Amino acid sequence: MTEQRTTNKRAQWAWYFYDFGNSAYAAVVLLAVYSVYFKEGVVASPEGSALWGLALTIAMLVVAVVSPFLGTIADYSQRKKLFLFIATGIAVTFTGLLFFVQKGDIFWGMALFILAEIGYRSGQVFYNSLLVDVADPDEVGRVSGNGWAIGSIGGIICLVIVLVLIQMNPGNTVIVRFSLVITAVYFALFTLPTLFWIKEKKAAQNKVGDNYFKIAVQRLKHTIQSVRDFKEFLKFMVALLIYNDGIIAALDFAAIVGAVLFGVTDTQLIIFVIIVQVTNVIGAYAYAIIGERIGYKNSLVQSLLLMVLAIGAMMFINSVEAFFIVGAVAGFAMAGVQSISRTLVTAFAPASKVAEFYGFFALAGRTSSIIGPGVMGFAASGLSAWLMKTLVDANLVAAGNLSAVSVTEQIGHRFAIVTIVIFLLVGLMLLLFVNEALGRQAAIEAEDRYNGN
């Protein structure tokens, strides 16, 4: 028993370490460095927001299409680790190649990022599905929360390394680009424990004569046909489909909003993201405890309410200090939304179909993510362009007036924040109709049927 407990702990730490490295990508590429570098340095115009949203939309569309198949194949073959390393290899390789993107390289800046994002997001399907291989049913919530918190710490450490380099070389874009290489290496190194310390529990289900694609189609068809047995899971997926739009848009545009509305520097943005990551760690631990005490659905409702208040406040604040405070609150709430959402999937899924359900979880999340960033990006750029054209047509400003362009861009981004709030509120209202107890019972009964009990 002691040996088994030691093995489980080692596997859990390997699972945590993957999130530790994975979070560096989210922190540096999505939040603090590359998003703003692409918008301000590569595109260098208000259209950068729309192009950033478009790149995210394309990546999410690809993941939305392939993730259910990948999750099903991983479940059937019991090669979740293999698929995880393939996806991670894609993410790491193309993140490192972002170093070569310079001013005006819009196509390559988008293409390389899209490929890195596809690898990053696809890897999460298999990483999440390994949760049942490293945690017993009674500790899933705690392990999931710990993974989120420890992952956030990994993002903070990578950001500190990047911050020191940028501080030592102010205004040097080579260092900014080199931070992406550091992130890729960091991500790769902390993936290695997963290879050696995690063992998948069940043997592969060999079926002579059928290839994996055919098996994936058959199992997905069966799951869709039997979805009536998982009504609470289905309702939860519909709610997530909506509120996740707001979460992803807020995450992917946080740095751009800070740069456009408040003029924060590269250094300030990294400090901002470090603060957000710290509150993310606190939030992950806090909501793991709250979820076990009041139920995961209730704690998810609370975290979404707090997220609505934080994002809503972003529309009215006018200082860098207020931006930092609101970001800290949003980071705390976002940890609850994302870690509890992940935990609820495990609660609602039959034990033998967890990877498949995570595939659908990814499908809902990535499908929604197709819409959110695109709407935010095009709303910000569209409103800015419309307002500038209106002022020029009325002969109030000259075309190309830099001050007018800056002001209209700020107004466009501030009003575009409304789209995030709407997504969060609609998703929250739909979540209220989910019954956690019924969802858990349906999963248990389904697993008994699969096992012939």
Short-list 240, 330, 440, 404, CA closest to 31: 330
Q: What is the pLDDT of residues 18-54, one digit of tens each?
A: 999 999 999 899 888 999 899 889 998 888 888 998 9
Short-list 287, 251, 286, 288, CA closest to 272: 251
Q: What is the pLDDT of residues 412-421, one digit of tens each?
A: 888 889 999 9
Q: Is the pLDDT of residue 4 over 60?
A: no
Comparison of pLDDT for 213 and 308, the residue scoring more: 308
Average pLDDT score, the chain: 85
pLDDT value at residue 361? 74
Q: Which domains does the chain have, with CATH numbers?
A: 2-192+220-447 (1.20.1250.20)
pLDDT value at residue 363? 65
Amino acid at 163: L
Q: Is the pLDDT of residue 379 over 90?
A: no
Short-list 125, 146, 131, CA closest to 11: 131
Confidence bin at 450 (pLDDT 50/70/90): confident
244 neighbors 372 (Cβ within 8 angstroms) = yes
Portion of the chain with pLDDT greater than 90, in percent: 31
Mean pLDDT along residues 132-144? 77
pLDDT value at residue 299? 92
What is the rounded CA–CA span in Å between residue 178 and residue 164? Answer: 13
Mean pLDDT along residues 189-203? 84
Portion of the chain with pLDDT greater than 70, in percent: 90
pLDDT value at residue 22? 92
Q: How many residues does this entry show for the chain?
A: 453
Q: What is the pLDDT of residues 85-101, one digit of tens each?
A: 999 999 999 999 999 99
Mean pLDDT along residues 360-379? 75
Q: What is the pLDDT of residues 151-175, one digit of tens each?
A: 888 988 999 999 899 888 887 899 9
Confidence bin at 274 (pLDDT 50/70/90): confident
298: left (phi over 0), alpha (psi -120 to 50) or beta: alpha
Confidence bin at 180 (pLDDT 50/70/90): very high
Q: Is the pLDDT of residue 111 over 90?
A: yes
Q: Give the CA radius of gyration of the chain.
A: 22
pLDDT value at residue 355? 63
pLDDT value at residue 452? 67
Burial of 402 (0-12, 13-18, 19+ CB in 10 A): exposed
Q: Is the pLDDT of residue 147 over 90?
A: no
Q: Is the pLDDT of residue 106 over 90?
A: yes
Contacts of 345 (CB under 8 A, 6+ apart): 128, 233, 354, 357, 358, 361
Comparison of pLDDT for 246 and 7, the residue scoring more: 246
Mean pLDDT along residues 186-206? 81
Tell me if residue 91 falls in helix, strand or coil: helix
pLDDT value at residue 199? 85
pLDDT value at residue 378? 85
DSSP annotation string for 165-180: HHHHSTT-HHHHHHHH
Comparison of pLDDT for 108 and 200, the residue scoring more: 108
pLDDT value at residue 362? 65
Amino acid at 440: R
Confidence bin at 366 (pLDDT 50/70/90): low
Kindly report the number of other CB atoms within 10 A of residue 294's CB atom.
12
pLDDT value at residue 181? 97
277 neighbors 159 (Cβ within 8 angstroms) = yes
Report CA 337 to chain centroid distance, whole Å. 11
